[in-house]
A and B are shown apart, each in its own frame.
Chain A
Amino acid sequence: EIVLTQSPGTLSLSPGERAALSCRASQSVGSYYLLWYQQKPGQAPRLLIYGASSRATGIPDRFSGSGSGTDFTLTISRLEPEDFAVYYCLHYGTSPPYIFGQGTKLEIK
């Protein structure tokens, strides 16, 4: 079973700065199957990125995804106040189980 490890656990940055969040898989995964979600307090996760680099509908272009094999990155080019949240990566393969990373909390410095 694939394990996804996200780093850092917490990232403290200021609005306007660039954020880079890492998701590392325990074995190589197809780029088609790596997704990113954002979750704010009291809300369900929201899809940001699928297929490692495709933005979901309505997601601003300051969000971008990259990577392949075992190493994937979510980049937020210029942080807006509403971007401070918890971010999860997900391996959504062709069959279950579906595995989430443990999350990275992006907090205001």
Chain B
Amino acid sequence: QVQLQESGPGLVKPSQTLSLTCVISGDSVSSDSAVWNWIRQSSSRGLEWLGRTYYRSKWYYEYEVSLQSRISINPDTSKNRFSLQLNSVTPEDTAVYYCVRGIMVAGPSPGFDCWGQGTLVTVS
């Protein structure tokens, strides 16, 4: 059974960097069918996909266009985890942040099939 667990500071000051880590159990960050995502949720913006990383003979990184200048998602194969860094945060970045497994297959995909419990990050 796949489990994801987020960790990181719950409070970040404006203009600083938000850093979160997601530990994976029951799957591999180097899986050839999974992709590893960060999604956040706030009352003002709803559910918002932030970006992803995945391995298909090499590492790929894709980000929400509006965040590209200040976001980075990186795998750590030695510890089977991946991380999120979001720079220059503002109160608008206050949200619950989820790490999420996505599945990429031909045909109907189960999409985001496994979610961490989420961690609230407040920018203030």
What residues of chain A lie closer than 8 Å to B51, measured between beta carbons? Answer: 96
**Listed residue (A31, A37, A100) with the most chain B CB atoms within 10 angstroms of its CB:** A100
Interface 1/0 per residue, B43-71 and A, CB below 8 Å: 00011110110000000001111000000
Interface 1/0 per residue, A72-108 and B, CB below 8 Å: 0000000000000000101010011111101100000
What residues of chain A lie closer than 8 Å to B107, measured between beta carbons? Answer: 32, 51
What residues of chain B lie closer than 8 Å to A88, measured between beta carbons? Answer: 47
Of chain A, the residue at the smallest CB distance from B118 is: A44
**A window 26-55: CB within 8 A of B:** 31-33, 35, 37, 43-47, 50-52, 54
Assess the B52–A50 pair: CB atoms within 8 A. Answer: no
Interface stretch of the complex, out of B74-82, B87-95, B109-117 = B109-117
B36 part of interface (Cβ distance < 8 Å): no
Complex-state Cα separation, A100 to B64, whole angstroms: 13
What residues of chain B lie closer than 8 Å to A90, measured between beta carbons? Answer: 111-112
Interface size class of A (residues with CB under 8 A): 20 to 34
Of the A-B pairs whose beta carbons lie under 8 Å apart in the complex, a sample of 15, sorted by A's number, is A32-B108, A44-B117, A45-B112, A45-B115, A47-B111, A50-B109, A50-B110, A51-B108, A90-B112, A96-B52, A96-B63, A98-B49, A99-B49, A100-B47, A103-B46
Chain A residues with CB under 8 Å of chain B are: 31-33, 35, 37, 43-47, 50-52, 54, 56, 88, 90, 92, 95-100, 102-103
